Amino acid sequence: MNMDSIVSLCKRRGFLFQSSEIYGGLQGFWDYGPLGVELKRNVKDAWWSDMVSGHDDMSTLPGAPTPYAMEGLDCTIIMHPQVWKCSGHYDLFHDYMIDCRETKKRYRHDQLNGRWVEAKEQRVFVTAPAGDDEQEHLTKQALKFFHLRNKHIDELKWDGEVTCLTEIESFEQVLGPDTNKLGTLTEPREFNLMFKTFVGALSGEEGTAFLRPETAQGIFVNFKNVLDSTRHRLPLGIAQIGKSFRNEITPRNFTFRSREFEQMEIEFFCHPDQSQEWYRYWRDRRLKWYHDMGISEKNLIMREHHKDELAHYSIGTADIEYAFPFMADGEYGELEGVAHRGDFDLRSHMEGKLDETSDSLGLQLDENGKPKWKGSGKDLSYRDDLTNEKYIPHVIEPSAGADRATLAFICEAFYEDEQPDENGKPQTRTVLRLHPRLAPIKAAIFPLVKKDGMPEVAKEVYLDLKKHFKVFYDEKGAVGRRYRRQDEAGTPYCITVDGQSLADQTVTIRDRDTLEQSRIRIDECEQVIRERMNR
Ligand code: GAP
């Protein structure tokens, strides 16, 4: 599977466009076109329906210790700045960056690789962005630096393996990836990933606010509101879908790493003693969801984080990862993280952190200029009305990216085969074999030819089905070509009105994946599509 073909299909058929394209685009920002917006909405709707609105709270689901309740929430993107102090994002959510004084380019410290090389009695550490073609880049850099031609490549004496720049202590003998001078890289500096903005007319630190880097915190700070207004007992899951923003240093791989993206998050509040069982439940449940939505087992893995990989809040995390086509062979990219967050967030929003750095944020200061209590001071613990036990719940967090999931569904669905055209010549057919629940258009309706009363009947079928599903009407060109356009859009069913339809009120329905055509009555089209979608 070739990523370039997928990217080209997405642009050609209106799934994804570069944001502000007519001005040259803006790195890390993407727009969803007419087909893309339907697909992504279907991904979010499927998630919401399966996890929240359609959740069976009366039964013990397979693998779950007990029945549980689910509720939804929709919080603001900009929240009180103390939220980010207490969540740890203000102090800890950063990458280490390196600048090149010569080229003014900026790199992530942990994403530059390099290798020692010697020639003409000088030894330097040449660097390149980590990736598939890094050795090629390193060789080019070294040749250029030592003023050697390709035919003298043997004069380069490589020493040791490729290593990350984080292993190198002094940068004096380091050659940046895009320069020809030694020692132009700065020391690594912290770079917070939150986008800053200002609230109200104040432009100084007092009005500083941040675009949320995760939707999760809106759920934590509303935990008590949801509990009190719904009168649920624990365990309780609270779900939210919404935009998050991260000023990623190296946005890349299409929408995989964007600066504006959507998350689908659940914070699941439970008794600490049951938290490990719930952690296992959510890992398995979420993995199964991707399988059910059409991702094959061979392309999906569950990976437990090593201790040193864990985020600051986590006492255990498993990533659900997909074999995206832009990853190297055998490597996977994160689709969703399922984290055991313990009581970190609720406790932190209750008690806060008293540290002296907080005043730079313009947080509450006392009359002596010292930071006041930084948590909310509110009691966010839970009292079980049956046992009277009072505790701070533990939280399991399945946190998925709507854009990454959408991209994974597109990659998984992309398929090319050879089919004969109208003249019997083999033609490459591109198909998006999307799960019918996710497909942007559920059915396309065609008159076989644009005469003999067929368009009139086809339009009636179209208008009738439109009340129930997203459908598409097309009467232009040869019917074979119309089928192929729908295959590319991922439309699972094509309904054709032909000469026979006028006589017996039947149409043909063609299946995108099996290419089988069968004849059904016009008045059963809606029911047949509905049944096939749920198969
Ligand atoms: N509340 C926990 C949290 O935000 P995360 O692993 O940082 O955890 C969760 O993010 C999910 O959000 C990821 O698994 C991914 O699907 C999505 N995500 C994170 N950063 C992203 C980015 N820059 N672009 C697109 N999706 C992203």
User: Given the CA of residue 265, which atom of ligand 1 is nearest to it?
Assistant: 1
- Whose C-alpha lies nearest to ligand 1, atom 19? 401
pTM, full prediction: 0.88
Tell me the pLDDT tens digit for each residue of 162-171: 999 999 988 9
pLDDT of residue 117: 95
Confidence band for 430, pLDDT divided at 50, 70 and 90: very high
Q: 3-93+194-409: which CATH topology?
A: BirA Bifunctional Protein; domain 2 (3.30.930)
Query: Quick one: pLDDT band at residue 252, thresholds 50, 70, 90?
Result: confident
Atom of ligand 1 nearest to the CA of 246: 23
Atom 14 of ligand 1: nearest residue by CA position: 336
Query: Which are the contacts of 323, defined by CB distance < 8 A and separation ≥ 6?
Result: 298, 299, 300, 301, 331, 332
Q: Is a pLDDT exceeding 80 seen at residue 533?
A: yes
DSSP single-letter state for residue 24: T
pLDDT tens readout for residues 181-199: 999 999 988 888 999 999 9
Q: pLDDT value at position 10?
A: 97
Q: Do domains 3-93+194-409 and 441-534 have the same CATH topology?
A: no
Ligand 1 closest atom vs CA 262: 26
- Would you list the domain boundaries of the chain? 3-93+194-409, 96-191, 441-534
Q: Closest Cα to atom 10, ligand 1: which residue?
A: 399
For ligand 1, mutation pick of 247, 255, 404 (most atoms within 8 Å of CB):
404
| CATH of range 441-534; options 3.20.20.210, 3.40.50.300, 3.40.50.800, 3.40.50.2300 | 3.40.50.800
- Summarised one tens digit per residue, pLDDT across range 303-323 is 999 887 777 767 789 999 999
Give me the mean pLDDT over the 39-61 stretch: 97
Q: Strands, DSSP E only, in 352-436?
A: 382-383, 390-391, 394-401, 414-420, 426-432
pLDDT in tens, 74-119: 999 999 998 998 888 888 888 888 999 999 998 889 889 999 999 9
Ligand 1 — pocket residues by CB below 6 A?
A: 214, 216, 246, 248, 257-258, 261, 263, 265, 334-337, 397, 399-401, 403-404
Cα distance between residue 254 and residue 469, in whole Å: 29
pLDDT reading at 324 higher than 60 = yes
Where are the strands (E) in 91-228, listed by range? 94-99, 106-108, 112-119, 122-129, 157-164, 174-175, 189-192, 196-198, 208-210
